[in-house]
Amino acid sequence: MLLHFRDATTSNTVAVNPHHVVCVFTNKDETSGLTSTVINMLNGNIAVTEDYLEVVGRIQSELK
């Protein structure tokens, strides 16, 4: 199952395979001052607009 999130840069929907997630963390953009949640996967990172706890909760619930 793929989980859908909103890309922080483009506002497009992105689908993430929760089995390929390595870690989740927050990042503050130095230029804009905005904080985003970053999903680190085997092939790279994606910054999303959803809250950190929401992202982690949705990934964890899918992996049970």
Per-domain boundaries in the chain: 3-63
Q: Are 31 and 40 in contact (CB under 8 A)?
A: no
Q: With a threshold of 0.75, does the pTM exceed it?
A: yes
CATH level 2 (architecture), domain 3-63: Beta Barrel (2.40)
* Residue range 5-56, pLDDT digits in tens: 999 999 999 999 999 999 999 999 899 898 999 999 999 999 999 999 999 9
- Bridge partners of residue 44, in order along the sequence: 41
Closest to 59 measured CA to CA, from 32, 34, 23, 31: 23
Q: How many CB atoms lie within 10 A of CB 21?
A: 20
